[in-house]
Copies of this chain bind each other. A is one copy, B any other.
Amino acid sequence: MQPLSDCTVTVIGLGLMGGSLAGALRGHCKEVIGVDRDTAIVEAAVRGRFADRGTVDLAEGVAGADIVVLATPVRTIVRLLGELGPLVHAEALLMDLGSTKTQILKAMAHLPDTIQPLGGHPMCGKETSGIAAADIALFRERTFILSPLPRTSPEALELGASLAKAVGAMPLVIGAERQDFLVGTLSHLPYLLACSLVSTADVTTSADPLVWHIPAGGFRDTSRVAGSDVTMMLDILMTNRGEIVKAARLCADQLDQLIQLVEEGDETRLGAELSRIQRIRKEMYP
């Protein structure tokens, strides 16, 4: 395969992730083409210099592409994988940026043999969405998970890794199921916790509306990801249900144990448990 600098890259879906990736790739490849179903978004992407040119026509957008990156919600990625086979250049690298990988890789396995498929998941995001929130620095210093299929060539994986590095990220190769297990705990569970916290505060509001006027830093951070795009999150939750439910039940058990220690006033055990957790957190983020 040719080096990234000689490639035309088409990014499909110009939201926060796709727009940011397209913009970050400019200058690292021959041309960046942006595709979105919404004309206004395509225009905003080109005007904001996130893409060299753009189109709402999928076939036109991918026709000359050496690399195609799907940056839509997960189930739209799965659907588009069913349509792209005949439209994409025979030898193209076809990647995605979806947060769950198992179902996407299953769909990728049905692509025409000559196409090189590669699952991708950059571990970044914001609680804002859309091209207006796009930021070419979004991927810097972030882990960019790459999940190859058995059929993916070493050269295609290498090109995918170059793309990740070009936007400032650190590629990490993991199989699809292992990635879905890991992000179930690291990314999808925090979302459910943040949602539960906001929902709890909302119930509390009915007892005391002042709850909304005391901005606590801990609350703000712990609830941040509850502001994430719902269409994106719903697709993630629906395509990683098994792992998410397992991780969330485990977490509910941990919470119950802590509640019980607080209720019983068992300071010795509670203190030991909180110290253990504090130590782990400090090891994770020194």
Contacts and interface: CB of A to CB of B under 8 A. Distances in A.
Interface of chain A, main secondary structure: helix
- Copies of this protein in the assembly total 2
B218 A258 contact: no
Interface in A231-286: 233-234, 237-238, 241, 244-245, 247-252, 254-256, 258-259, 262-263, 265, 267, 270-271, 273-275, 277-278, 280-285
A191 interface: yes
A198 to B, nearest CB: 5
Nearest to A244: B262
B277 A220 contact: no
A59 interface: no
Interface in A202-243: 202-204, 207-208, 210-228, 230, 233-234, 237-238, 241
A190 B208 contact: no
Interface size range on A against B = 35 or more
A176 to B, nearest CB: 14
Interface string A69-96: 0000000000000000000000000000
Given A202-B280, A211-B186, A262-B244, A124 B217 contact: yes
5 contacts: A181-B208, A186-B216, A194-B218, A196-B251, A218-B225
